[in-house]
Amino acid sequence: MRYFPLFIDTQNLPCLIVGAGEVAARKLELLLKSEAQVTVVAPEICGTVRHLASSAQVSLHQRPFETSDLDHVRVVFVATSDEALNAEIHAEATARGLLVNVVDNTPLCGFITPSIIDRSPIVIAMSSGGHAPVLLRYMRQKLESLIPANISKLGAFSERFRNKVKSTLSSVTARRYFWESVLDGDIAEEVTQGNNEKAEQKFEAALAAAAENKQTEGQVYLVGAGPGDPDLLTFRALRLMQKADVVVYDRLVSPQILELVRRDAEKVYVGKAKSIHTVPQDDINQLLVKYAKEGNRVVRLKGGDPFIFGRGGEEIQHLIEEGISFQVVPGITAAAGAGSYAGIPLTHRDHAQSVVFATGHLKNNTIDLNWPSLAQPNQTAVFYMGLTGLPIICEQLIKHGLAPTTPIALVQSATTHQQKVITGTLADMPDHPQLGEIAPPALIIVGGVVSLHKQLNWFEPGQPA
């Protein structure tokens, strides 16, 4: 992130605009929505700038730029058609430590003006770093249509009661829960409809009720984060991630998904690497209980689906024993994600009429599985956590009836830009020349459906899905 987003206090902020054409007019019009004091300097002034300059915020000077114009200002916009002059002003302003923006010349911009959705006091600013202005305008149009104009009423209402809520509810968590209940409920509806008196009555009653609770009851959400691509999160998963007070996550949760968690949530890593348990499962269970009993909304974020080799059942059994309220949010399991993005349908009328999931996790150097049931014709077998035990898996499947020529695929980091797929047969996969390039997390898919990979493979790693 080259351009760090900031909101500057514009109250009495001295700004300078050099230039007074239509381009400068757009910047002036934007600044007039703030509380800045603006000086405009240019030898020629267009009608739009002259009209806008009738505001008391604007001081207009029809003359060439002078270096002394930079005295006592803090923000400079340069919008002339003279490139040499623009560069000269940029150099002098930068030397003085001023914030300077040369319009339509990103390399000469110490800051850039974002695309703004103004619902004051709610303001949304977006930027593409100057690289994709058309895409930015497209996104702004979409958001403008989604965010109602009267959302500003909720912003003003929240500002008016913020201090009262803070003095009434001492706990940060209690205040957060209270405001979320207000914004998600009928109080917000009354505000946006202009029924302020009714909204205030309901607000006061809700605040009094919240003040009587000594501690907010915590809850745990077991949330499936899917196989890796953030676009595959469910709406409910995303909503809970953005409301969480504490997020307990594992190694299979991609950094891109973790970026979607609420910024001020406490993030607790309990990841498990191959054959190395960073945090024992019993300790994870206790962590969930601890944070919930402290009154937090806890999201246990798991790669894939919580109930498919995610030990979600063990965790909620412990929560039940401790009397902790919980919910489970399913996610796309790794097998479905890997199969789809590798062009390997897990079932196919000509190749597989059933699919079975198994764990390939080694214990005491053995894999204690029902091999006869896994080595069935016209069936797809998917092994989770099986990379270390790959030679044993191939050996046992052949031993129990599958042909050595049965196709097998290894899919690494499925659905992400790091996805890698190698294919072979049960006989040759343990000695595959590319095997050393595959690292966890990886999934093993065995069966005739793997033969469809080359024909159906549609996902190009490194490209957006």
Q: Give pLDDT tens digits for 19-62.
A: 999 999 999 999 999 999 999 999 999 999 999 999 999 999 99
The rounded distance, in Å, linking the Cα atoms of 363 and 308 is 19
* Residue 173 banded pLDDT, cuts 50, 70, 90: confident
Q: Annotated binding residue at 385?
A: yes
Distance CA 429, CA 450 (A): 13
Report which of 263, 226, 229 is spatially closest to residue 243, judged by C-alpha positions. Answer: 263
State yes or no: 414 annotated in a binding site: yes
What's the pLDDT score for residue 94?
96
Domain with residues 151-212, CATH architecture: Orthogonal Bundle (1.10)
C-alpha 354/C-alpha 339 separation (Å) is 14
Q: What is the mean pLDDT of residues 207-235?
A: 87
Q: Average of pLDDT values for 384-393?
A: 92
Is 399 in the active site? no
Q: Mean pLDDT over residues 76-105, rounded?
A: 96
Q: Is 321 annotated as belonging to a binding site?
A: no
**Does 465 appear as a known binding residue?**
no
Superfamily of domain 335-456 in CATH is Tetrapyrrole methylase, C-terminal domain (3.30.950.10)
**CA–CA separation, 75 and 39 (whole Å):** 10
Entry field: residues in the chain: 465
Is 259 annotated in a binding site? The answer is: no
Which region among 9-18, 58-67, 173-182, 357-366 has the lowest average model confidence (pLDDT)? 357-366
| 465 DSSP assignment | -
Name which of 98, 330, 116, 88 is nearest 224 in CA terms.
330
Determine the distance from the C-alpha atom of residue 358 to the mean position of all C-alpha atoms in its chain, rounded to a whole number: 31
Catalytic residue among 69, 229, 245, 250: 250
Asked whether the predicted pLDDT for residue 157 surpasses 90, the reply is yes
Please indicate if the annotation marks 227 as binding a ligand: yes
Integer CA distances (angstroms), 366 to 361, 363, 392, 408, 443, in order: 9, 6, 8, 21, 18
Residue tagged active-site, from 198, 272, 274, 293: 272
What is the spatial distance between Cα 241 and Cα 301, in angstroms, rounded to a whole number?
8
Read off the pLDDT of each residue in 338-367 and give the average, rounded to a whole number: 88
* Alpha-carbon distance values, 75 to 24, 39, 123 (Å): 14, 10, 20
Spatial contact of 222 and 240, defined as CB atoms under 8 Å apart: no
- Average pLDDT (220-228) is 94
Tell whether the torsion through CA atoms of 278, 173, 225 and 333 is positive or negative: positive
Residue 231 assigned as binding residue:
no
Query: What are the φ and ψ backbone dihedral angles of 264, each rounded to 5 degrees?
Result: -95, 10
308 DSSP assignment? S
CA atoms within 13 A on the CB side of 92: 17
Strands (E), 304-378: 325-329, 354-359
φ/ψ of residue 293, rounded to 5: -70, -20
Instruction: Give the pLDDT mean for 131-157.
Output: 86
Residue 451 and residue 407 in contact, taking contact as beta carbons nearer than 8 Å: yes
The verdict on whether residue 226 carries a ligand-binding annotation is: no
Task: Specify the pairing of strand 266-269 against strand 379-384.
Answer: unpaired
Q: What is the pTM of this model?
A: 0.67
Tokens read off for 368: 């204690």
* Cα 333 versus chain centre, distance: 19
What is the average pLDDT score of the chain? 91
CATH superfamily of this structure's domain 219-332: Tetrapyrrole methylase, N-terminal domain (3.40.1010.10)
Tokens of 152: 């500003």
pLDDT of residue 133: 85
CATH 3.40.50.720 fits 14-113, yes or no: yes
- The Cα-based distances of 82 to 18, 74, 75, 89, 231 in angstroms read 11, 22, 20, 11, 45
Q: Is 250 known to be catalytic?
A: yes
Under the phi-then-psi rule, with left for phi > 0, alpha for psi from -120 to 50, and beta for the rest, what region is 385?
left
Residue 434's pLDDT band (cuts 50, 70, 90): very high
Asked if residue 333 belongs to a known ligand binding site, the reply is yes
| 97 annotated as ligand-binding | no
Which whole number is the average pLDDT over 102-129?
90
* CA nearest neighbour of 393 among 408, 378, 405, 379: 408
